[in-house]
Amino acid sequence: MRIRSDVWQLTRDHGDWPQVLVAYRSAVRAMRELDPPGGGPPVEPRSWRYQAALHGRNRPDGLPDTQNGWSACQHGSWFFLAWHRMYLLAFEMLVQRFLDDDEWSLPYWYAIDPDDPAKAVLPPAFRDATTTNTLFTGERSPEMNAGQPLEGLDFLGPALVASLADDTYTTDDGTGSFGGGRRDRPAYSGGEQGSLEDAPHGSVHVLVGGVITDDAGTPLRRGWMGQFDTAALDPVFWLHHANIDRLWQVWLEADATRTNPVEEMAWRDTRFSFPAFDGGTVSWTIAEVVDTEALGYRYDSVKPPSALRSAGRGGLESLQPGRAQARRPPEVVGAATGVAMASDATTTIGLSARPARGLESLDEPRRVLLRLEGITGSVCAPVYNVYLNLPENAVPADFPDRLAGTISTFGVAESSVRGREQEGTGVTKVLDITDLQGRLAAAGAWDAQAVSVRFEAVGPEAPAVLGDPGRRPPSRTADLRAARVVVVRA
Ligand SMILES: [Cu+2]
């Protein structure tokens, strides 16, 4: 059984260059040497840029290039975790062959470890700017390359714990889930993201990607990790995703009642293929990858964060109140359409006035959700915090108890472009506000007639590079918006 290990633990035990990273560096070099010199589309399936193109590659017009099986990554649905598990496994098999070492295993980077915030710094091997170091890239947040920790740990840690407290792998009624919304067929973008895919996964992408500026400091584009079509070019992508893959296992093992949706054919029987080292392909159905030990690997630790462990079984319910109740059909109690999400934008949502349905008259435990539907935009900050009922002119940071949740913008620009194979209708995110609504009501800060929603940008706003920037100059104004923001009782 191979072990995938914590890259920071290896670094602390063995110095900046543990053996697994020395080997990884030389495998990346070998794969990069198979790329066509001087750019142009990759042709050799084992090459570095070809492997990244499997995740995403844009044509000059900004739409995903789907030839050769490229642009196949799955986001915004229950296929997210399974597709990325296979992608990593096929990549790991290639690296093993390049190294002639079938024991080599991807390490993982636990960037948001609520019990060890020091791990939020990029491991030193990835920051070493020596020209021969293939693990370094300048197409990355300059702050993170300088050794600063990931921004926003204060709220990303709790977002991760809340995600791991969610008992449901998938739903199809828009009420949110750990693993993502149900979908009949695979799709590149759009749809309802699972809670793990959103803040814990997407925020690391966009914050590590950062913003690349010109000499005058004008934002030009996001770094590689911030976009589908470039994310896997950064060697740290694979370690970040190994951690997301591990967190799937953490979630499963945290409670014996949890299950993957293996009863559902559209999930279980869906098959994805990847290039094999000797030509041809390697492929799996999702049913074939649900058990990592059957695939030959496990993680050195699947211990949940202490905040989740100390919550215990009863505590899981306090983190996700009402989850254990019988599921009811969700009921929309308020909605606003065309909601601007630029920093400091505030939207007021009128709530159903009928007393029997008002949220204050809740006499039975039900969940209250804030669903942000169809989020689109081309210029936005990496991450947004969403607050409810802030006093006018309040500084959001002064009201951490009114934070409804954190959302990342990874994948938003990709889901906003309309094309032959995609609708361009954006991504959907669901925040559980049951607990917050209860606290606001108890503090006399909940109005049964209306709720106000305020967005706060974290990090600088930057354009996403989609298409030929020479032909279509990117907008400079933040244009993030949600087609609809809904308050739901479920
Ligand atoms: Cu990802």
Give me ligand 1 centre to Cα 24, in Å: 19
How many contiguous H segments (helices) and E segments (strands) does the chain have? Answer: 12, 17
In a domain, 326, yes or no: no
Give me ligand 1 centre to Cα 338, in Å: 28
Q: What is residue 353's predicted lDDT score, i.e. its pLDDT?
A: 59
Give me ligand 1 centre to Cα 403, in Å: 25
pLDDT band for 104, please (50, 70, 90 cuts).
very high
The CA distance from 207 to 403, in Å, is 20
Give me ligand 1 centre to Cα 241, in Å: 6
Do residues 488 and 373 touch, judged by C-beta distance below 8 A?
no
Instruction: Indicate the pTM of the whole model.
Output: 0.93
Do residues 219 and 462 touch, judged by C-beta distance below 8 A?
yes
Cβ atoms within 10 Å of 13's Cβ, excluding its own: 10
Walk across the sheet containing 481-489 and list its strands.
Answer: 191-192, 427-432, 368-376, 481-489, 331-340
Give me ligand 1 centre to Cα 205, in Å: 7
* 232 and 352 housed in the same domain: no
Please state the separation of Cα 287 from the chain's center in Å. 23
Residue type at 417 in one-letter notation: V
* 247 and 336 housed in the same domain: no
* 46 and 95 housed in the same domain: yes
Query: Could you tell me the CA-to-CA distances from 381 to 240, 282, 314 in Å, in that order?
Result: 20, 38, 36
Give me ligand 1 centre to Cα 322, in Å: 30
* 281 and 391 housed in the same domain: no
Q: 188-202, 312-326, 398-412: lowest mean pLDDT where?
A: 312-326
Q: 128-132, 190-194, 358-362, 395-399: lowest mean pLDDT where?
A: 358-362
**Domain's final residue, options 251, 284, 319:** 319
Strands (E), 329-480: 331-340, 346-350, 368-376, 379-380, 383-388, 403-408, 427-432, 450-458, 462-463
Q: Is the pLDDT of residue 417 over 70?
A: yes
Residue type at 116 in one-letter notation: D
Give me ligand 1 centre to Cα 383, in Å: 15
* 303 and 375 housed in the same domain: no
The CA distance from 10 to 1, in Å, is 18
Q: Is the pLDDT of residue 413 over 90?
A: no
Give me ligand 1 centre to Cα 238, in Å: 9
Q: Is 83 exposed, middle or buried (0-12, 13-18, 19+ CB in 10 A)?
A: buried
Q: Map tokens 């739903």 to a residue.
A: 171
The CA distance from 445 to 433, in Å, is 14
* 238 and 129 housed in the same domain: yes
Give me ligand 1 centre to Cα 310, in Å: 29
Q: 59-63, 381-385, 393-397, 417-421: lowest mean pLDDT where?
A: 417-421
Phi-psi region of 174 (alpha: psi -120 to 50; beta: other; left: phi over 0): left
In a domain, 362, yes or no: yes
421 token code pair: 């194979």
Question: Which range marks the domain in which residue 457 is found?
Answer: 331-489
Q: What is the mean pLDDT of the chain?
A: 90
- Strands 462-463, 379-380: pairing is antiparallel
Give me ligand 1 centre to Cα 201, in Å: 6
Give me ligand 1 centre to Cα 257, in Å: 27
Total residues belonging to the chain: 490
Give me ligand 1 centre to Cα 377, in Å: 19
Do residues 33 and 329 touch, judged by C-beta distance below 8 A?
no
* 298 and 370 housed in the same domain: no
Give me ligand 1 centre to Cα 80, in Å: 9
CA-based R_g, the chain, Å? 22
In a domain, 325, yes or no: no
By percentage, how much of the chain surpasses pLDDT 90? 72
Give me ligand 1 centre to Cα 267, in Å: 19
Give me ligand 1 centre to Cα 230, in Å: 11
Torsion over CA: 378, 183, 201, 57 (sign): negative
CATH number of the domain to which 393 belongs: 2.60.120
Q: How many structural domains are present in the chain?
A: 2
Q: Map tokens 């209708």 to a residue.
A: 425
Give me ligand 1 centre to Cα 455, in Å: 24
Mean pLDDT across the stretch 338-355? Answer: 82
* 339 and 310 housed in the same domain: no
Give me ligand 1 centre to Cα 477, in Å: 26
Give me ligand 1 centre to Cα 113, in Å: 17
Give me ligand 1 centre to Cα 486, in Å: 27
Give me ligand 1 centre to Cα 397, in Å: 28
**Domain's final residue, options 319, 344, 367:** 319
What is the tens place of the pLDDT at every residue in 205-257?
A: 999 999 998 898 888 888 999 999 999 999 999 999 999 999 999 999 999 99
- Strands 427-432, 368-376: pairing is antiparallel
**Domain's final residue, options 319, 349, 372:** 319
Give me ligand 1 centre to Cα 359, in Å: 36
Give me ligand 1 centre to Cα 146, in Å: 22
